[in-house]
C-alpha cells in the first residue's frame, strides 16, 4: 500500500465514524457534499430503490448508474423507467461491449457460466466488472446498497472504506439496515420495487443466474445457486475475485 493509499484509508475510517451517527438522508447529504464525482450504482433491488428514492427526493448531486448486462429480467428493465419517472432522475445504463460478449461466447458458449466457476467469473467480468469500471471513471466516491444482513460474506460491511483497487472511497449507507427496515421505508414512502421480490426473489441479478429462494434460505441463496460456495459473489464487491477476472 502506498503512502497515498494509507492516508486515504485513514480518511475513509474517519468518514465511517461520522456516517454511523446519521440517518440515511444525512449520510447521503454528507457524502454528496464532500466534493468530487459521487456515483451510486443501482441494481434496482429493494435496497437500491431506497437510496434512489432519497437521492431523487432530496435532489442530491449524485450520479446514478446501472449495469445493463443484457441478461436482466424484463421486470428490472421496466423498473428503471418507472424509477426515473417517479423521481425525475436519470439512471445511466452501462452495457457490455459486443466484442467482449462474442469472445466470451466463442470460448465458453453463451451460457457457459453454468459449467465452471471460472466461466461464471469471466461472464461477470464481461457483463459487470468492465461496465462498472466505465461507470466509475473519474469518481471519488462510490455508493452501494450493501447491507450486513444480506449474506455472511457481507456481515462486516462498514459505512465507508477505501477501495485501493479503484482508488476511491466506497460508501454503504444502508450497512446497518435490516430487511424489515427496508420494507417499512418502501411501504411508508411509496417506493417502486421489482415485482419479483413478492415472488420469492429477495436478491435479483441476471435472469439466468437468479432463482427464487426456499423458506429459510439466506437472502442471496438464489444467486448462482448451482455453485456450492456460500460466499459466492460476482466480483463487484470482492477485490480478490475482481483480480481473478481481470487476470483472465
234 labelled catalytic: yes
Write out the residue range of the structural domain in which residue 42 sits. Answer: 3-247
Residue of 150, 158, 132 whose CA lies nearest to 39: 132
- Any idea what the CATH number is for the domain that residue 149 is in? 3.40.50.620
User: Residue-wise pLDDT tens for the chain (248 aa)?
Assistant: 676 777 789 999 999 999 999 999 999 999 999 989 999 999 999 999 999 999 999 999 999 999 999 999 999 999 999 999 999 999 999 999 999 999 999 999 999 999 999 999 999 999 999 999 999 999 999 999 999 977 777 788 999 999 999 999 999 999 999 999 999 999 999 999 999 999 999 889 999 999 999 998 888 888 888 887 654 555 455 543 333 333 33
For 77, residues 6+ apart whose C-beta sits below 8 A from its C-beta are: 68
**How far is Cα 185 from Cα 199, in angstroms, rounded to an integer?**
20
**Within a 10 A sphere around the Cβ of 242, how many other Cβ atoms?**
24
Residue of 139, 190, 141 whose CA lies nearest to 161: 141
Q: Considering the candidates 123, 124, 209, 234, report the single residue annotated as catalytic.
A: 234
Domain count for the chain: 1
**Total-model pTM:** 0.87
Sheet holding 160-163, edge to edge: 91-94, 63-67, 37-41, 139-143, 168-171, 160-163
Amino acid at each position: 500500500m502506498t503512502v497515498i493509499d494509507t492516508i486515504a484509508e485513514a480518511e475513509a475510517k474517519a468518514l465511517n465514524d461520522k456516517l454511523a451517527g446519521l440517518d440515511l438522508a444525512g449520510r447521503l447529504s454528507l457524502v454528496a457534499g464532500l466534493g468530487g464525482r459521487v456515483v451510486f450504482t443501482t441494481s434496482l433491488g429493494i435496497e437500491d430503490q431506497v437510496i434512489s428514492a432519497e437521492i431523487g427526493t432530496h435532489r442530491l448531486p449524485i450520479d446514478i448508474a446501472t449495469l445493463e448486462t443484457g441478461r436482466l429480467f424484463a421486470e428490472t428493465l421496466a423498473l428503471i423507467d418507472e424509477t426515473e419517472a417517479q423521481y425525475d432522475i436519470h439512471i445511466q445504463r452501462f452495457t457490455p461491449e459486443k466484442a467482449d460478449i462474442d469472445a466470451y461466447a466463442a470460448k465458453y458458449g453463451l451460457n457457459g457460466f453454468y459449467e465452471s466457476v471460472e466461466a461464471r467469473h469471466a461472464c461477470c467480468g464481461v457483463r459487470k466488472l468492465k461496465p462498472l469500471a466505465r461507470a466509475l471513471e473519474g469518481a471519488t466516491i462510490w455508493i452501494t446498497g450493501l447491507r450486513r444482513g444480506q449474506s455472511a460474506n457481507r456481515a462486516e460491511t462498514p459505512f465507508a472504506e477505501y477501495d485501493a483497487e479503484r482508488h476511491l472511497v466506497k460508501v454503504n449507507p444502508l450497512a446497518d439496515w435490516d430487511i424489515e427496515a427496508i420494507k417499512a421505508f418502501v411501504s411508508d414512502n411509496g417506493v417502486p420495487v421489482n415485482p419479483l421480490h413478492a415472488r420469492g426473489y429477495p436478491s435479483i441479478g441476471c435472469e439466468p443466474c437468479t432463482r427464487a429462494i426456499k423458506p429459510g434460505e439466506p437472502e442471496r441463496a438464489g444467486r448462482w445457486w448451482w455453485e456450492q460456495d456460500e460466499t459466492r459473489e460476482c466480483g463487484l464487491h470482492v477485490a480478490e475475485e475482481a483480480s481473478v477476472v481481470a487476470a483472465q
